Amino acid sequence: MDAIKIGCLMKTYANYIADSRNDFSYLSYYLTNDEYHNLLCYINLRNRAPRKTMFNYLRYVLFKETRINETLKRHICNKLSKIVADNYTGTAFPENKIDPIVAPLSNKEKICVDCILLKKTKSLELPYPSIKIRIKEYIKDGGRINYTYYDSIYKAKRTNYIWAKWYVRDNLHVPATEARFDEFMQIILSCDEWSKDGLISFYYNQTTLNEEMRKILAELEHKNSPLAFCMFLSLKRQNINSLDLKDIAKWYETSFDILHSDLTLQDVQFFGYKEKHAHTTFDIFGGKDKFSHLRKNSKFIYGEPTSVSKIEVDDVYEQALINQMSEKKMTTIHKHLNSELYRKAAIASADITSFLRSVV
Protein backbone atom coordinates (compact mmCIF):
# COMPACT_ATOMS: atom_id res chain seq x y z
CA MET A 1 0.00 0.00 0.00
CA ASP A 2 2.86 2.41 0.87
CA ALA A 3 4.47 1.71 -2.49
CA ILE A 4 1.21 2.60 -4.26
CA LYS A 5 0.92 5.86 -2.28
CA ILE A 6 4.50 6.79 -3.12
CA GLY A 7 3.86 5.98 -6.80
CA CYS A 8 0.77 8.19 -6.85
CA LEU A 9 2.67 11.06 -5.23
CA MET A 10 5.52 10.73 -7.73
CA LYS A 11 3.07 10.70 -10.63
CA THR A 12 1.30 13.80 -9.30
CA TYR A 13 4.62 15.60 -8.84
CA ALA A 14 5.76 14.66 -12.36
CA ASN A 15 2.50 15.98 -13.83
CA TYR A 16 2.89 19.21 -11.86
CA ILE A 17 6.45 19.73 -13.15
CA ALA A 18 5.41 19.03 -16.75
CA ASP A 19 2.44 21.42 -16.51
CA SER A 20 4.43 24.17 -14.78
CA ARG A 21 7.04 24.16 -17.52
CA ASN A 22 4.31 24.67 -20.12
CA ASP A 23 2.41 27.24 -18.07
CA PHE A 24 3.21 30.72 -19.30
CA SER A 25 0.33 32.49 -17.57
CA TYR A 26 2.72 34.24 -15.20
CA LEU A 27 4.09 36.20 -18.16
CA SER A 28 0.86 38.21 -18.28
CA TYR A 29 2.26 40.13 -15.31
CA TYR A 30 5.38 41.18 -17.27
CA LEU A 31 3.95 41.74 -20.75
CA THR A 32 1.18 43.85 -22.19
CA ASN A 33 -1.99 42.07 -23.35
CA ASP A 34 -0.93 42.27 -27.00
CA GLU A 35 2.60 41.04 -26.27
CA TYR A 36 1.25 38.14 -24.21
CA HIS A 37 -1.27 37.20 -26.92
CA ASN A 38 1.38 37.32 -29.67
CA LEU A 39 3.76 35.21 -27.60
CA LEU A 40 1.14 32.50 -27.00
CA CYS A 41 0.28 32.46 -30.71
CA TYR A 42 3.93 31.97 -31.62
CA ILE A 43 4.47 29.23 -29.00
CA ASN A 44 1.47 27.25 -30.27
CA LEU A 45 1.49 28.01 -34.01
CA ARG A 46 5.17 28.84 -34.74
CA ASN A 47 3.98 31.48 -37.19
CA ARG A 48 6.21 34.32 -38.37
CA ALA A 49 6.51 36.72 -35.47
CA PRO A 50 7.70 40.31 -35.10
CA ARG A 51 11.00 41.03 -33.41
CA LYS A 52 9.48 41.95 -30.02
CA THR A 53 7.59 38.65 -29.87
CA MET A 54 10.74 36.71 -30.75
CA PHE A 55 12.66 38.58 -28.04
CA ASN A 56 10.01 37.65 -25.44
CA TYR A 57 10.00 34.02 -26.61
CA LEU A 58 13.78 33.75 -26.35
CA ARG A 59 14.03 35.50 -23.01
CA TYR A 60 11.04 33.97 -21.21
CA VAL A 61 10.75 30.55 -22.88
CA LEU A 62 13.89 29.29 -24.63
CA PHE A 63 16.40 30.77 -22.17
CA LYS A 64 14.03 30.65 -19.20
CA GLU A 65 16.06 28.14 -17.18
CA THR A 66 19.47 29.17 -18.50
CA ARG A 67 21.57 30.41 -15.59
CA ILE A 68 23.48 33.26 -17.13
CA ASN A 69 23.93 36.95 -16.39
CA GLU A 70 20.74 38.91 -17.18
CA THR A 71 22.65 41.50 -19.26
CA LEU A 72 24.20 38.70 -21.34
CA LYS A 73 20.79 37.05 -21.75
CA ARG A 74 19.25 40.28 -23.02
CA HIS A 75 22.17 40.75 -25.42
CA ILE A 76 21.85 37.37 -27.14
CA CYS A 77 18.04 37.46 -27.12
CA ASN A 78 18.16 40.87 -28.80
CA LYS A 79 20.61 39.71 -31.49
CA LEU A 80 18.85 36.38 -32.14
CA SER A 81 15.47 38.10 -32.40
CA LYS A 82 16.97 40.45 -35.02
CA ILE A 83 18.30 37.42 -36.93
CA VAL A 84 14.94 35.59 -36.95
CA ALA A 85 12.65 38.57 -37.50
CA ASP A 86 14.78 41.11 -39.38
CA ASN A 87 17.31 38.95 -41.27
CA TYR A 88 20.23 40.42 -39.32
CA THR A 89 23.51 38.78 -40.40
CA GLY A 90 25.91 40.00 -37.71
CA THR A 91 27.45 38.03 -34.86
CA ALA A 92 24.87 37.10 -32.21
CA PHE A 93 27.23 36.11 -29.41
CA PRO A 94 29.08 38.57 -27.15
CA GLU A 95 32.75 39.17 -27.94
CA ASN A 96 35.29 36.96 -26.17
CA LYS A 97 38.77 38.51 -25.95
CA ILE A 98 39.83 36.63 -22.79
CA ASP A 99 43.23 35.07 -23.44
CA PRO A 100 43.22 31.41 -22.28
CA ILE A 101 46.95 31.50 -21.49
CA VAL A 102 46.81 34.56 -19.24
CA ALA A 103 43.34 33.97 -17.74
CA PRO A 104 42.52 30.24 -18.08
CA LEU A 105 39.83 30.15 -15.38
CA SER A 106 37.95 33.18 -16.72
CA ASN A 107 38.23 31.82 -20.27
CA LYS A 108 36.90 28.41 -19.20
CA GLU A 109 33.94 30.06 -17.49
CA LYS A 110 33.19 32.12 -20.60
CA ILE A 111 33.41 29.04 -22.83
CA CYS A 112 31.01 27.11 -20.56
CA VAL A 113 28.47 29.91 -20.96
CA ASP A 114 29.01 29.99 -24.73
CA CYS A 115 28.44 26.22 -24.94
CA ILE A 116 25.12 26.55 -23.10
CA LEU A 117 24.02 29.36 -25.43
CA LEU A 118 25.14 27.42 -28.52
CA LYS A 119 23.17 24.36 -27.46
CA LYS A 120 20.02 26.43 -27.01
CA THR A 121 20.58 28.33 -30.25
CA LYS A 122 20.81 25.07 -32.23
CA SER A 123 17.18 24.35 -31.34
CA LEU A 124 16.07 27.54 -33.14
CA GLU A 125 15.02 27.64 -36.78
CA LEU A 126 17.43 30.34 -37.87
CA PRO A 127 17.11 31.82 -41.38
CA TYR A 128 19.81 31.08 -43.93
CA PRO A 129 21.23 34.41 -45.17
CA SER A 130 21.30 34.89 -48.93
CA ILE A 131 25.07 35.04 -49.34
CA LYS A 132 26.36 33.59 -52.60
CA ILE A 133 29.89 32.24 -53.13
CA ARG A 134 30.77 32.79 -56.77
CA ILE A 135 34.03 33.01 -58.72
CA LYS A 136 32.71 33.77 -62.21
CA GLU A 137 36.14 34.01 -63.83
CA TYR A 138 36.95 30.41 -62.85
CA ILE A 139 33.90 28.74 -64.41
CA LYS A 140 32.68 29.60 -67.92
CA ASP A 141 29.07 29.50 -69.01
CA GLY A 142 28.09 25.86 -69.30
CA GLY A 143 30.20 24.86 -66.31
CA ARG A 144 33.52 24.59 -68.17
CA ILE A 145 36.75 25.67 -66.46
CA ASN A 146 38.27 28.88 -67.82
CA TYR A 147 41.94 28.11 -68.62
CA THR A 148 42.86 31.79 -68.84
CA TYR A 149 41.92 32.03 -65.14
CA TYR A 150 44.67 29.52 -64.37
CA ASP A 151 47.19 31.76 -66.07
CA SER A 152 45.90 34.86 -64.25
CA ILE A 153 46.08 33.18 -60.85
CA TYR A 154 49.60 31.94 -61.55
CA LYS A 155 50.73 35.49 -62.40
CA ALA A 156 49.20 36.70 -59.09
CA LYS A 157 51.44 34.45 -56.99
CA ARG A 158 54.00 35.97 -54.66
CA THR A 159 57.55 36.19 -56.00
CA ASN A 160 59.08 34.20 -53.14
CA TYR A 161 56.91 31.15 -53.92
CA ILE A 162 57.57 28.47 -56.54
CA TRP A 163 54.55 26.60 -57.90
CA ALA A 164 56.42 23.50 -58.97
CA LYS A 165 53.37 21.46 -60.03
CA TRP A 166 52.25 23.95 -62.70
CA TYR A 167 53.25 23.76 -66.37
CA VAL A 168 52.76 25.72 -69.60
CA ARG A 169 50.24 24.66 -72.24
CA ASP A 170 49.36 26.81 -75.25
CA ASN A 171 51.25 29.71 -73.66
CA LEU A 172 49.11 29.47 -70.50
CA HIS A 173 50.16 28.38 -67.01
CA VAL A 174 47.93 25.51 -65.88
CA PRO A 175 48.04 23.25 -62.80
CA ALA A 176 48.89 19.55 -62.87
CA THR A 177 46.59 17.24 -60.93
CA GLU A 178 49.20 17.09 -58.15
CA ALA A 179 48.93 20.88 -57.71
CA ARG A 180 45.40 20.30 -56.32
CA PHE A 181 44.30 23.76 -57.41
CA ASP A 182 40.95 22.55 -58.75
CA GLU A 183 40.33 20.72 -55.47
CA PHE A 184 41.15 23.96 -53.66
CA MET A 185 38.69 25.94 -55.79
CA GLN A 186 35.91 23.35 -55.50
CA ILE A 187 36.19 23.45 -51.71
CA ILE A 188 35.64 27.22 -51.82
CA LEU A 189 32.65 26.90 -54.16
CA SER A 190 31.13 24.11 -52.02
CA CYS A 191 30.76 26.68 -49.23
CA ASP A 192 27.94 28.27 -51.25
CA GLU A 193 25.50 25.78 -49.73
CA TRP A 194 24.67 26.28 -46.04
CA SER A 195 24.99 23.50 -43.48
CA LYS A 196 23.30 23.63 -40.05
CA ASP A 197 26.64 23.62 -38.22
CA GLY A 198 28.04 26.23 -40.60
CA LEU A 199 25.05 28.49 -39.94
CA ILE A 200 25.53 28.32 -36.17
CA SER A 201 29.26 29.05 -36.56
CA PHE A 202 28.43 32.00 -38.85
CA TYR A 203 26.38 33.63 -36.09
CA TYR A 204 28.89 32.71 -33.36
CA ASN A 205 32.29 33.46 -34.91
CA GLN A 206 34.11 36.61 -33.81
CA THR A 207 35.82 37.95 -36.92
CA THR A 208 36.54 41.09 -38.95
CA LEU A 209 35.94 39.29 -42.28
CA ASN A 210 33.13 40.44 -44.57
CA GLU A 211 29.91 38.38 -44.92
CA GLU A 212 31.14 36.38 -47.91
CA MET A 213 34.39 35.33 -46.24
CA ARG A 214 32.61 34.81 -42.88
CA LYS A 215 30.36 32.27 -44.56
CA ILE A 216 33.33 30.45 -46.11
CA LEU A 217 35.14 30.44 -42.74
CA ALA A 218 32.06 29.00 -40.99
CA GLU A 219 31.54 26.25 -43.57
CA LEU A 220 35.23 25.28 -43.81
CA GLU A 221 35.28 24.77 -40.05
CA HIS A 222 32.99 21.74 -40.45
CA LYS A 223 34.54 20.09 -43.50
CA ASN A 224 36.66 17.00 -42.91
CA SER A 225 39.21 16.99 -45.73
CA PRO A 226 42.85 17.79 -44.86
CA LEU A 227 43.06 20.61 -47.40
CA ALA A 228 39.79 22.19 -46.20
CA PHE A 229 41.12 22.17 -42.62
CA CYS A 230 44.29 23.99 -43.70
CA MET A 231 42.24 26.48 -45.72
CA PHE A 232 40.19 27.14 -42.58
CA LEU A 233 43.32 27.78 -40.48
CA SER A 234 44.68 30.12 -43.14
CA LEU A 235 41.43 32.09 -43.41
CA LYS A 236 41.22 32.25 -39.61
CA ARG A 237 44.17 34.68 -39.67
CA GLN A 238 41.82 37.26 -41.21
CA ASN A 239 44.23 38.53 -43.85
CA ILE A 240 42.39 36.99 -46.84
CA ASN A 241 39.66 39.55 -47.46
CA SER A 242 38.17 38.70 -50.85
CA LEU A 243 38.02 36.20 -53.70
CA ASP A 244 40.08 38.29 -56.09
CA LEU A 245 43.19 36.91 -57.82
CA LYS A 246 45.84 38.10 -55.35
CA ASP A 247 43.94 36.94 -52.28
CA ILE A 248 43.14 33.52 -53.75
CA ALA A 249 46.79 33.04 -54.80
CA LYS A 250 47.94 33.99 -51.29
CA TRP A 251 45.32 31.70 -49.71
CA TYR A 252 46.38 28.81 -51.95
CA GLU A 253 50.04 29.28 -50.94
CA THR A 254 49.44 29.58 -47.20
CA SER A 255 47.04 26.62 -47.15
CA PHE A 256 49.73 24.33 -48.54
CA ASP A 257 52.30 25.86 -46.18
CA ILE A 258 50.10 24.69 -43.31
CA LEU A 259 49.38 21.30 -44.90
CA HIS A 260 53.11 20.58 -45.02
CA SER A 261 53.79 21.83 -41.50
CA ASP A 262 54.17 20.44 -38.01
CA LEU A 263 51.44 22.45 -36.29
CA THR A 264 49.80 21.72 -32.95
CA LEU A 265 46.77 23.23 -31.22
CA GLN A 266 49.19 25.36 -29.15
CA ASP A 267 50.56 26.90 -32.37
CA VAL A 268 47.06 27.82 -33.51
CA GLN A 269 45.96 29.07 -30.08
CA PHE A 270 49.17 30.94 -29.28
CA PHE A 271 49.51 33.77 -26.78
CA GLY A 272 47.29 36.69 -27.81
CA TYR A 273 45.76 34.89 -30.82
CA LYS A 274 42.31 36.42 -30.20
CA GLU A 275 43.77 39.84 -31.00
CA LYS A 276 44.85 38.74 -34.48
CA HIS A 277 42.80 35.71 -35.49
CA ALA A 278 39.10 34.96 -35.71
CA HIS A 279 37.63 33.33 -32.60
CA THR A 280 35.45 30.41 -33.73
CA THR A 281 33.67 27.36 -32.36
CA PHE A 282 36.87 25.47 -33.22
CA ASP A 283 38.56 27.36 -30.37
CA ILE A 284 35.90 26.07 -27.97
CA PHE A 285 35.74 22.43 -29.00
CA GLY A 286 39.38 21.97 -30.05
CA GLY A 287 39.37 19.48 -32.89
CA LYS A 288 42.81 18.09 -32.04
CA ASP A 289 42.17 15.04 -34.23
CA LYS A 290 42.27 17.22 -37.34
CA PHE A 291 45.96 17.94 -36.81
CA SER A 292 46.68 14.36 -37.87
CA HIS A 293 45.88 15.59 -41.41
CA LEU A 294 49.13 17.55 -41.53
CA ARG A 295 52.14 15.89 -43.17
CA LYS A 296 54.59 17.15 -40.54
CA ASN A 297 57.64 17.28 -42.76
CA SER A 298 58.59 20.92 -42.18
CA LYS A 299 58.23 23.65 -39.59
CA PHE A 300 56.06 26.66 -40.36
CA ILE A 301 55.39 29.61 -38.02
CA TYR A 302 51.60 29.95 -37.94
CA GLY A 303 51.29 33.12 -35.88
CA GLU A 304 53.48 35.49 -33.93
CA PRO A 305 52.59 36.23 -30.27
CA THR A 306 51.19 39.65 -29.46
CA SER A 307 50.67 41.70 -26.30
CA VAL A 308 47.48 40.81 -24.48
CA SER A 309 44.49 43.15 -24.59
CA LYS A 310 43.59 44.84 -21.32
CA ILE A 311 40.17 43.39 -20.55
CA GLU A 312 38.04 43.01 -17.44
CA VAL A 313 37.53 39.55 -15.93
CA ASP A 314 35.93 38.47 -12.66
CA ASP A 315 38.99 36.69 -11.29
CA VAL A 316 41.07 39.15 -9.22
CA TYR A 317 44.41 37.37 -9.71
CA GLU A 318 43.95 36.95 -13.47
CA GLN A 319 42.88 40.59 -13.83
CA ALA A 320 46.04 41.74 -12.04
CA LEU A 321 48.12 39.50 -14.32
CA ILE A 322 46.39 40.90 -17.42
CA ASN A 323 47.10 44.45 -16.22
CA GLN A 324 50.79 43.65 -15.71
CA MET A 325 51.16 42.09 -19.14
CA SER A 326 49.39 44.98 -20.82
CA GLU A 327 51.45 47.54 -18.88
CA LYS A 328 54.78 45.90 -19.72
CA LYS A 329 53.81 45.00 -23.33
CA MET A 330 54.82 41.41 -22.69
CA THR A 331 54.60 38.79 -25.44
CA THR A 332 55.30 35.68 -23.37
CA ILE A 333 54.19 34.37 -20.00
CA HIS A 334 55.87 31.92 -17.65
CA LYS A 335 53.63 28.87 -17.20
CA HIS A 336 54.12 28.90 -13.41
CA LEU A 337 52.34 32.25 -13.10
CA ASN A 338 48.98 30.46 -13.34
CA SER A 339 49.94 27.72 -10.88
CA GLU A 340 48.20 27.35 -7.53
CA LEU A 341 51.46 28.18 -5.73
CA TYR A 342 51.77 31.64 -7.32
CA ARG A 343 48.04 32.28 -7.01
CA LYS A 344 47.97 31.51 -3.28
CA ALA A 345 51.14 33.50 -2.64
CA ALA A 346 49.74 36.54 -4.46
CA ILE A 347 46.40 36.42 -2.65
CA ALA A 348 48.18 35.97 0.69
CA SER A 349 50.30 39.05 0.04
CA ALA A 350 49.09 42.52 0.97
CA ASP A 351 48.96 43.68 -2.67
CA ILE A 352 48.57 41.31 -5.65
CA THR A 353 49.80 43.94 -8.11
CA SER A 354 52.98 44.59 -6.12
CA PHE A 355 53.56 40.84 -5.82
CA LEU A 356 53.27 40.35 -9.60
CA ARG A 357 55.53 43.31 -10.33
CA SER A 358 58.23 41.62 -8.26
CA VAL A 359 57.98 38.28 -10.10
CA VAL A 360 56.87 39.16 -13.66
82 inside domain: no
227 inside domain: yes
Residues 156 and 34 occupy one common structural domain: no
73 inside domain: no
Query: Up-side HSE of residue 301: CA atoms within 13 Å toward CB?
Result: 3
Q: What pLDDT is recorded for position 9?
A: 43
Total domains, the chain? 3
pLDDT digits (tens, 9 = 90+) for 179-198: 999 999 999 999 999 999 99
76 inside domain: no
Residues 295 and 159 occupy one common structural domain: yes
Q: Are 146 and 172 in contact (CB under 8 A)?
A: no
Q: What's the pLDDT band for 16 if we cut at 50, 70, 90? A: very low
Residues 95 and 47 occupy one common structural domain: no
Q: Is the pLDDT of residue 137 over 70?
A: yes
Residues 329 and 296 occupy one common structural domain: no
Residues 197 and 297 occupy one common structural domain: yes
Residue 354 belongs to what domain range? 316-359
Per-residue 3-state assignment (H helix, E strand, C coil) for the chain = CHHHHHHHHHHHHHHHHHHHHCCCHHHHHCCCHHHHHHHHHHHHHCCCCCHHHHHHHHHHHHCCCCCCCHHHHHHHHHHHHHHHHHCCCCCCCCCCCCCCCCCHHHHHHHHHHHHHHHHHHCCCCCCCCCCCCCCCCCECCCCCECHHHHHHHHHCCCCCCCCCCEEEECCEEEECHHHCHHHHHHHHHHCCCCCHHHHHHHHHCECCCCHHHHHHHHHHCCCCCHHHHHHHHHHCCCCCCCCCHHHHHHHHHHHHHHHCCCCCHHHHCCCCHHHHCCECHHHHHCCHHHHHHCCCCCCCCCCCCCCCCCCCCCCHHHHHHHHHHHHCCCCCCCHHHHCHHHHHHHHHCCCHHHHHHHHC
Residues 116 and 153 occupy one common structural domain: yes
Q: What pLDDT is recorded for position 21?
A: 55
Task: Give the other-Cβ count within 10 Å of 146's Cβ.
Answer: 15
220 inside domain: yes
Residues 141 and 239 occupy one common structural domain: yes
Q: What pLDDT is recorded for position 20?
A: 47
pLDDT digits (tens, 9 = 90+) for 255-274: 999 998 888 888 888 888 98
Q: Is the pLDDT of residue 239 over 60?
A: yes
pLDDT digits (tens, 9 = 90+) for 289-330: 888 878 777 777 788 777 777 888 989 999 999 988 888 888
Residues 280 and 210 occupy one common structural domain: yes
Q: What pLDDT is recorded for position 13?
A: 41
pTM of the model: 0.86
84 inside domain: no
Residues 129 and 245 occupy one common structural domain: yes
- Report helix angle 245-259 to 181-190, nearest 10: 110
Of the two residues 9 and 177, the one the predictor is more confident about is 177
**Cβ-count burial of 292 within 10 angstroms (0-12 exposed, 13-18 middle, 19+ buried)?**
exposed
Residues 38 and 187 occupy one common structural domain: no
Residues 137 and 190 occupy one common structural domain: yes
298 inside domain: yes
Q: What's the pLDDT band for 2 if we cut at 50, 70, 90? A: low
22 inside domain: yes
- Domain boundary residue among 38, 68, 98? 68
Residues 297 and 340 occupy one common structural domain: no
Q: What's the pLDDT band for 358 if we cut at 50, 70, 90? A: confident
